[in-house]
């Protein structure tokens, strides 16, 4: 349940967008639509995300946020419009070209996607499998350079001491940190996160998002993160894009966005 607001902000699209570096655009969508049968999930949306920008994607459940992320990583193909991800159109990629693109795009899931019986270290090393010619079994079978990188990435997310602990014995927040460290092994240029803190308690949610913000700033990768927690979205992002019923109804710098504007998106969805 969202907190009441005394005055609702208008839900017309806000054209005050973050400044773009025309020489470095990570994601560009033009009039992109997506339908599943008779249901229009996205309705002719336009979006440009500059390299290195942290974008919070907010909006009610079913608004189209997850579909948008899956279009960007090539899991879905749009029914209309065009898109470019790191200079490549995933909708026109063959299997190998799409694999090469996905190696440059990390994805952090709500449910972590870890192998519970394996250690944190083993799960992190799995993030480098795309760069190896054959599957690996056990920590010692990975090259020394990858093992050193895995240790360094676990230290960056604050889990060095837990590196040999089974993932199914870790807390939810710790498991999400392992998933983030695994994504770091890709050395991705773009990271997508789909409700990465939805299953975490408030303290763990803040910690995980602060970690993502810190890493994106340090490494310079672009971040698009879907969130329901309005306060967290405003705290960590450079820019906020709000989605309601498949359309963008707000797109502005975080510094120019109020909590009331974003909460109004949720409230009017409920009355639509």
Instruction: Name the band, by pLDDT with cuts 50, 70 and 90, for residue 135.
Output: low
Q: What average pLDDT does the structure give for the chain?
A: 86
pLDDT band at 214 (very low <50, low <70, confident <90, very high): very high
pLDDT for residue 138: 67
The structural domains of the chain, with segments of one domain joined by +, span: 1-104+192-272, 113-187
Q: How far is CA 182 from CA 89, 106, 124, in A?
A: 25, 9, 4
Give domain 1-104+192-272's CATH architecture: 3-Layer(aba) Sandwich (3.40)
Q: Looking at residues 50-79, what average pLDDT do you find?
A: 94
What pLDDT band is residue 271 in, cutting at 50, 70 and 90?
very low
pLDDT at 119: 95
Q: What percent of the chain has pLDDT over 70?
A: 86
Instruction: Please say if the pLDDT value at position 2 is more than 80.
Output: no
Contact of 124 with 176, CB cutoff 8 Å: no
Q: Is the pLDDT of residue 179 over 90?
A: yes
Under the banding of pLDDT at 50, 70 and 90, the label for residue 125 is very high
Q: Which of 6-15, 107-116, 173-182, 228-237 has the lowest mean pLDDT?
A: 6-15
Instruction: Taking residues 214-221, report their average pLDDT.
Output: 94
**pLDDT (0 to 100) of residue 132:** 62
């Amino acid at each position: 349940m969202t907190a009441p607001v005394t005055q609702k902000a208008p839900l017309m699209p806000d054209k005050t967008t973050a400044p773009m570096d025309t020489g470095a655009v990570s994601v560009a969508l033009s009039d992109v639509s997506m339908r599943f049968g008779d249901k229009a999930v996205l309705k002719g949306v336009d979006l440009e995300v500059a390299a290195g920008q942290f974008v919070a994607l907010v909006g009610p459940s079913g608004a189209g946020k997850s579909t948008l992320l899956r279009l960007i990583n090539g899991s879905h193909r749009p029914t209309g419009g065009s898109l470019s991800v790191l200079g490549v159109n995933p909708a026109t990629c063959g299997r190998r070209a799409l694999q090469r693109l996905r190696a440059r795009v990390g994805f952090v899931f709500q449910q972590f996607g870890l192998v519970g019986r394996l250690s944190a270290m083993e799960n992190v090393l799995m993030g480098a499998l795309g760069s190896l010619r054959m599957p690996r079994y056990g920590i010692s079978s990975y090259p020394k350079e990858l093992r050193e990188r895995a240790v360094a990435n676990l230290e960056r997310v604050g889990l060095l001491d837990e590196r040999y602990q089974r993932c199914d014995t870790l807390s939810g927040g710790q498991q999400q940190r392992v998933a983030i460290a695994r994504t770091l092994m890709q050395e991705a240029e773009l990271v997508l996160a789909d409700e990465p803190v939805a299953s975490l308690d408030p303290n763990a949610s803040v910690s995980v998002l602060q970690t993502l913000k810190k890493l994106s700033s340090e490494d310079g990768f672009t971040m698009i993160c879907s969130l329901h927690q309005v306060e967290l979205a405003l705290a960590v992002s450079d820019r906020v894009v709000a989605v309601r019923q498949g359309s963008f109804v707000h797109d502005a710098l975080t510094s120019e966005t109020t909590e009331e504007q974003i909460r109004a998106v949720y409230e009017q969805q409920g009355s639509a």
